[in-house]
Structure 1
Amino acid sequence: MTWLITGGAGYIGAHVVHAMTEAGERAVVYDDLSTGFAERVPRGVPLVEGSTLDGDRVARVLAEHEVTGVVHLAAKKQVGESVEQPLLYYRHNVEGLRILLEAVTEAGVGSFVFSSSAAVYGMPDVDLVTEETPCVPMSPYGETKLAGEWLVRATGRATGLSTASLRYFNVAGAANPGLADVGVFNLVPMVFERLTEDKPPLVFGDDYPTPDGTCIRDYIHVADLAEAHVAAARALRSSPGRDLTLNIGRGEGVSVREMIDTINAVTGYDRPPTVVPRRPGDPARVVASADRITTELGWKARRDLRDMISTAWQGWLHHHPRS
């Protein structure tokens, strides 16, 4: 079986490619390299440069590589940017997915794993977010991910395509330094950047209804996330017609202040954070219930918070060497 992995040169996508190949699966990477890097793709894995908006090119790749399953990670993913450019996000994340699914069904591909997000839930007022928690996305990014789930599920029901939508929570860490996240959009790299610039980390609000007043999130190691994709892909292959929607998290909440304290401890810095005003739309607590994926696939996160931070820090130093 050969898996086409769209966005496979990106931070998460490259981890999925490595996990798939290490598990003995054949993979082909399809990436426009707008945010990905060719050097992340393992040696021996074909890399085709292209956009999911190019249906003819997608169809050729599916045929030439005899693709039998797709893991779709290619997407625009910055919440703030999606608010400023909603048409761009709907074009790439929804229209690109529609074109890809059209090519997939015409080629007779049997399995489709979709990269979704906890952003589909919006601001859930629950201790643990289950897959049945109402989806009320608060950004065009979250809307496109929810619309993507609908499109994937409807296509599966109409055509017999086996599908899985994986709702990621907060991703951090690296399997090796070369695969680390080079963007500065999420909490961990944002704190790293502040510390290495000799500036205090920022806490956006400390008056939330949580034990220490800061937001609580569920963090998942990217290597665990990649292994969840392998489990989902194999489940679809072994059970034709299956339709899965699964949270990918640890089921443990970590506050922003706890995260910064742990980052200080792991990196050797001792710089207290500065509290600044809340950011609009930040929910107080978003923590996954990860029970369903354990029941359905036998998968469970194995790496803890210190693993995430230490591997992310090694990756940060790899890409930002100190003089």
Structure 2
Amino acid sequence: MKVLVTGGAGYIGSHAVQRLLRDGHDVAVLDNLGRGHREAVEALRASSGKEIPLLEADLQDRAVIAARLRELGTEAIMNFAALAYVGESVTDPLRYYENNTAGVVSLLQAMQDAGVKRFVHSSTCATYGEPEVMPIREDTPQSPINPYGWSKLFVERVLADHAAAEPGFAYAALRYFNVAGSDPDAVIGEDHHPETHLIPVLLNTALGKRESATIFGLDYPTPDGTCIRDYIHVSDLIDAHVAVMNELDPDREDRRQMIFNLGTGKGLSVKQIIDAVKEVTGVDFPVEHGDRRPGDPPSLYADPRKIREQLGWSASITDATTMVRDAWKWFQENPSGYASQA
């Protein structure tokens, strides 16, 4: 299949490009490189021997994207082009609604112009807000508590309405939990600026790039007092995307709209992640204790039963050690992130 990966120079998107290439698909990337890395695409070109066309554009560049979709003969789009800092979404909500929501509307219009019928969209567990009952099912009420979550939920509404109005359109909305790990071969990895994800923060601390790490809250009603989250290895996450893309079918009513949670179905605590990082790296870095952060629920983890029953997908990696080990390999080889490759 000919697939365009938006946000394909970013952390998750680049792993999608890598997997699609390995499966024999023709892959192109669209990324404005605001937070993606040209070096990630270049690393994939070098490792795969494929050209991998890169279109530097924003999602709002409808005419440019439509022309490229026609030129490439694109049959499906995987969309990872989103801003994803919760705090930033609170201080600059218009930027998030412009990119994450209006940008997808423009992308869908470009698809319509070019006759592309399949769309796999990155949504998020942030659309659920702070659910009171665990695990989180797809029918758990969605009530976001920040503009980032709302910007993603609005897209889900847009997709449902668009699919109802255009019978030849098929889409999936995949609600992620905490993505972790990296390509086991360390061709590509995770490099955010600023870095807010727990495992990379801890690995940077182990590398000596940070003086210490902080646990925010030790008095949660959990076994060790720290927050529990559902961590899914990025390779498993992309495996689910591919499985969903392969099943989408505009001509089948039961394959035109697919909504799934993507998680392992179990949680790992902050303390468990810290212990795994110290074990894998062999570095006993200092850990400070801070107050709870507003809006941090004690536990968030998925019920992934629906995608397992319908598509036979389930996460193959559920232990913190493997996720950390895969991420650590890339961090060791690229201590300055993609700048190490420049």
Q: TM-score, normalised by structure 2?
A: 0.90
Given that 1:178 and 1:318 are in contact with CA atoms closer than 8 Å, whether structure 2 keeps it comes out as no
Tell me which moved more, 269-278 or 258-267.
269-278
- Work out which of the residue numbers 270, 281, 285 in structure 1 matches 2:299: 285
1:231 is aligned to 2:243: yes
The 5-angstrom pairing of residues 256-267 of structure 1 reads 256-267=270-281
Corresponding residue for residue 314 of structure 2: 300
Given that 1:53 and 1:96 are in contact with CA atoms closer than 8 Å, whether structure 2 keeps it comes out as yes
Tell me which moved more, 231-240 or 27-36.
231-240
Corresponding residue for residue 173 of structure 2: 165
Q: Aligned partners of 2:274, 2:282: CA distance in 1, in Å?
A: 12
Corresponding residue for residue 316 of structure 1: 331
Given that 2:31 and 2:55 are in contact with CA atoms closer than 8 Å, whether structure 1 keeps it comes out as yes
> Aligned residue pairs: how many?
322
Q: Aligned partners of 1:237, 1:311: CA distance in 2, in Å?
A: 34
Given that 1:167 and 1:247 are in contact with CA atoms closer than 8 Å, whether structure 2 keeps it comes out as yes
- Work out which of the residue numbers 57, 62, 73 in structure 1 matches 2:69: 62
1:207 is aligned to 2:215: no
1:138 is aligned to 2:145: yes
| SS of residue paired to 1:283 | coil
Given that 1:173 and 1:222 are in contact with CA atoms closer than 8 Å, whether structure 2 keeps it comes out as yes
Give identity over the alignment, percent: 41
Give the Å deviation of 1:232: 0.8
- Work out which of the residue numbers 150, 162, 177 in structure 1 matches 2:186: 177
Corresponding residue for residue 76 of structure 1: 83
Q: Aligned partners of 1:282, 1:315: CA distance in 2, in Å?
A: 29
The 5-angstrom pairing of residues 107-122 of structure 1 reads 107-122=114-129
Q: Aligned partners of 2:336, 2:97: CA distance in 1, in Å?
A: 37
Q: Where does the alignment leave 5 or more consecutive residues of structure 1 unmatched?
A: none
Corresponding residue for residue 14 of structure 1: 14
What code does the residue aligned with 2:304 have? A
The 5-angstrom pairing of residues 263-278 of structure 1 reads 263-271=277-285, 273-278=287-292
Given that 2:69 and 2:114 are in contact with CA atoms closer than 8 Å, whether structure 1 keeps it comes out as yes
Q: Aligned partners of 2:263, 2:330: CA distance in 1, in Å?
A: 22
| SS of residue paired to 1:8 | coil
Q: Aligned partners of 1:319, 1:153: CA distance in 2, in Å?
A: 41
Give the Å deviation of 1:321: 6.5
| SS of residue paired to 1:112 | strand
String of CA shifts for 1:268-306, please: whole Å, max 9, x gaps. Answer: 022452210111111110000111111122111112321
Given that 1:114 and 1:152 are in contact with CA atoms closer than 8 Å, whether structure 2 keeps it comes out as no
Given that 2:170 and 2:250 are in contact with CA atoms closer than 8 Å, whether structure 1 keeps it comes out as no
Given that 1:174 and 1:222 are in contact with CA atoms closer than 8 Å, whether structure 2 keeps it comes out as yes
Q: Aligned partners of 1:63, 1:321: CA distance in 2, in Å?
A: 38
Corresponding residue for residue 195 of structure 1: 206
Given that 2:135 and 2:302 are in contact with CA atoms closer than 8 Å, whether structure 1 keeps it comes out as yes
Corresponding residue for residue 4 of structure 2: 4
Tell me which moved more, 232-241 or 278-287.
232-241
Q: Aligned partners of 2:307, 2:329: CA distance in 1, in Å?
A: 30
What code does the residue aligned with 2:225 have? G
Give the Å deviation of 1:312: 0.8
What code does the residue aligned with 1:296 have? Q
